[in-house]
Chains A and B, each alone.
Chain A
Amino acid sequence: MKRVFYIFIVLIAFIGLNSSTVKTTQMPDTRAVVKALYIYTFATLVEWPEQKRSGDFVIGVFGEKTSVYEELIKKYSGKAIGSQKIVIQNYRNKEAIQNCHILYITEVNSHYVPALATQMAPKNTLLVSEKVGSLTKGAIVNFVLEGNQQKYEINKTNAKTHKLVIADKLTDLAVNVIK
């Protein structure tokens, strides 16, 4: 007679996988970052007159403290363009603007472009706007969309008025250049 071993079959359960979905994090403001990065590249590809090549390099944002302002602070505050330390400023009214190398004018404040162009020309400020038609109102660089991408257009005549020299590379990559 065969001996039987009392080996019980223990039911073994599958360990659950609990496959979930990838967590969506808070949506990053990609548009603000692109604009901040562009503003930095403008700073590297524009030549300012001699008197503006010393001291701090001031990038101003005119309007509310938008995401672009926050990105500029985050990425560039304390860094340098050549030997000039970058300082990011926010201006709520045009009288407060003293002296800056680049002034970015938010879309809701674009109606100030003509007045700011007159005010900032003697201070050799590169006016950067983001509203269609701003180049004819005094802006030097204007953000525009081309397809799905953020691009820019340039008014070289306005640049000359502000005594700024724009590098060919920046002009060549612009979607529209007014000479």
Chain B
Amino acid sequence: MKTMRYISLILIACCASLSFGQTWTWQANEFYKAQNFEQAKNAIDSAIGTSERYDSQTWQLRGLIYRNLDKPNHLFNSEIAIESFVRAKKVDSTNVYTTKINEYIKNTLIKNYYNISVKLLLEEKDFEKSEEYYSIYKKHYLALLDPMYSFKTSDVDYYNTVAVQYITKVDFAEPSKKGALREKAILNCSKVLAIDSLDYKANFNMGIIYYNLGADYIMIADPEITVEELMMNQKRAEDSFLKALPLLNNADRIQPGTMEVYEGLMGCYYGLNNDELYLKYQILVDKHYLPTYLETLKNQPKNIENIKTLIRIYTYTLVNEEEANRLRTVMNELQNE
């Protein structure tokens, strides 16, 4: 009778345990749902030390918990999350969870690698770390989800953005660091062009990078330059403008009639002292912006810079001598005020 009572008690205890799910995995899941990821981690790590490790769901949960952990190291935890999902697949001998686990992996790759890579790039401006995350994202995607997946579109978008970020950094960098940043920007444009030589943004961006480099050789030259250095700088500027031209011409072929390309070509030909082609593009640009300048003249009649621009336009590109002379008179009066 006593023995029967013990057996009954043990059975009740077991049933209670099962019904309340007081396994390590169950506890981990409770912590996970409460978003207490540190406690969840401790519980799930205990679970894999028991027979619960033969349950795919334990590994799935471990993956979900680890992908939410930041300490000690986000990348390290993400790698454990991915390993856990892989393990969950292995344990799932009947493949009941394959689709679900693949979704977990995909979401983890997006959340913990791709999106982090974009944040590092756009918000924290840590370009090298961003590239590290992006490359791990691709490596895992190919290894775990689809070995035939094409990253062409993603790569084009990513490397174009990296190039723009490097160039944006050039504007605020010390002169001694500008060169290295430009090289990185060019490298990223080249990566895009290797994938798709007809990508408008890469052609345009790389063209503008070379144009800006050429202009900088002149614009930020030491005022106390020697005549030899000046000639050397002109040669370097010429080389850069000549590198920019084919890229900007490509951009013009890919997306004809784009004003930003005309402005780039105009700048290059101006720097190369090629008046015929410079004027061709200056006329196109002036035709486009003339209504804006006239609107400014109407609203800000004393804006001398705007008047100067209009005088230039009416004198050299969209010639209107009468209007040019009238504006000269206006400008002289303003300068004498």
A residues in contact (CB < 8 Å) with B:
2-5, 7, 9-22, 24, 27-28, 30-31, 33-34, 37-38, 40-41, 44-45, 75-76, 79, 145, 147-151, 169-170, 173
Task: Mark B158-175 against chain A: 1 for CB-CB distance below 8 A, else 0.
Answer: 101101100100000000
In B45-100, the 8 Å CB interface with A consists of: 55, 57, 60-61, 64, 100
Residue from B25, B104, B157, B228 within 8 A of A19 (CB atoms): B157
How far in angstroms is the closest Cβ of chain A from B154?
Answer: 9
Contact yes or no, A169 B227, CB < 8 A: yes
Stretch at the interface among B1-9, B109-117, B293-301: B109-117
Residues in B neighbouring A170, C-beta threshold 8 A: 227
Contacts across chains A and B counted by CB atoms under 8 Å:
137
CA distance A34 to B235 in the complex (A): 12
Chain B interface category by residue count: 35 or more
Q: List, sorted by A's number, 6 A–B pairs whose CB atoms are closer than 8 Å.
A: A5-B57, A10-B107, A12-B111, A21-B205, A37-B230, A38-B227
How far in angstroms is the closest Cβ of chain B from A67?
Answer: 10
Residues in B neighbouring A4, C-beta threshold 8 A: 57
Residue from B29, B230, B234, B238 within 8 A of A41 (CB atoms): B230
CA distance A76 to B271 in the complex (A): 22
Residue from A17, A38, A150, A173 within 8 A of B118 (CB atoms): A17
How far in angstroms is the closest Cβ of chain A from B228?
Answer: 7
Contact yes or no, A24 B260, CB < 8 A: yes
Top 5 A-B pairs ranked by shortest CB distance? A19-B161, A19-B160, A41-B227, A148-B272, A75-B223
Residues in B neighbouring A21, C-beta threshold 8 A: 164, 201, 204-205, 208, 260
Contact yes or no, A12 B115, CB < 8 A: yes
Task: Mark B204-215 against chain A: 1 for CB-CB distance below 8 A, else 0.
Answer: 110011001011
How far in angstroms is the closest Cβ of chain A from B221?
Answer: 6
CB contact under 8 A between A27 and B267, given known A41-B230, A75-B223, A150-B273: yes
Residues in A neighbouring B64, C-beta threshold 8 A: 7
Residues in B neighbouring A12, C-beta threshold 8 A: 107, 110-111, 115
